[in-house]
A and B are shown apart, each in its own frame.
Chain A
Amino acid sequence: DIQMTQSPSTLSASVGDRVTITCRASQSISSWLAWYQQKPGKAPKLLIYKASSLESGVPSRFSGSGSGTEFTLTISSLQPDDFATYYCQQYKTYLWTFGQGTKVEIK
């Protein structure tokens, strides 16, 4: 199985901050990586696919980069609506696997 490791597990930040979350794969997944946002009591929402492609309707302050085994999700200027938990997911091969999540909290 391909293991996905996110860091940090929790991140405290203020509105307007630039935020970066890292996701590492245990083996190369090329660019077969997605990022999801989840708010409490809600279903996950797709933000980024193929490592760096922005899903339609997602604000441009979200961006993704990386390939192979190391990936990042960046929020250029954190907004109140962005406080949530973020997950990466590899879809190179079944079994699909998710990172453990990064909770972005208000500082």
Chain B
Amino acid sequence: EVQLVGSGGGLIQPGGSLRLSCAASGFTFTSYAMSWVRQAPGKGLEWVSTISDSGGSTYYADSVKGRFTISRDNSKNTVYLQMNSLRAEDTAIYYCANKSPLEFLQHWGQGTLVTVSS
């Protein structure tokens, strides 16, 4: 069974930093690109970032480019999202998901809540 367990969320002041983690199991981690998608309270889904299976390629939404960094540790089956210069509009549930070789987001984690507020 595929499991994606996110962690690292919490309450952080504007301008602060936070690192999210997503631990994967139940599939061959090194064969899958991984993504982060967020959902602001009461709003729709917004793709944030994707990293290739090797970690050699990364992609970002314009809204987070230059502030967020996605990375992965294939020895730990874990993907990370380093979030810097956080803003109130970054408040959201952050979901990690694996990207099928056919390009769609196949399995999603339970999400971790990030609240940016003073």
A34 & B44 in contact (Cβ 8 Å cutoff): no
Size of chain B's interface in residues, with CB distance under 8 A? 21
- Given known A94-B50, A98-B45, contact A89–B105 (CB-CB < 8 A): yes
CB distance from A83 to the nearest CB of B (A): 18
Given contacts A45-B108, A94-B59, A95-B62, contact A50 B102 (CB under 8 A): yes
Query: Do the beta carbons of A95 and B44 come within 8 Å of each other?
Result: no
Which residues of the partner chain B approach A91 to less than 8 Å between Cβ atoms?
103-105
**Smallest Cβ-Cβ distance to A55: which chain B residue:** B106
Name which residue of chain B comes closest to A96, CB basis.
Answer: B47
Q: Residue A50 contacts which of B104, B105, B108 (CB distance < 8 angstroms)? A: B104
Cα separation A50 to B105 with both chains bound (whole Å): 11
Cβ–Cβ < 8 Å partners of B84 in chain A: none
Quick check: is B29 within 8 A (CB to CB) of the other chain?
no
> A4 — nearest CB in chain B belongs to which residue?
B44
State the B residues within 8 Å of A (CB).
Answer: 37, 44-47, 50, 59, 61-62, 95, 100, 102-111
Beyond A44-B108, A98-B45: 15 further Cβ-contacts under 8 Å?
A: A34-B104, A42-B110, A43-B109, A43-B111, A44-B37, A44-B95, A46-B104, A49-B100, A49-B104, A50-B104, A87-B45, A94-B59, A95-B62, A96-B50, A100-B44
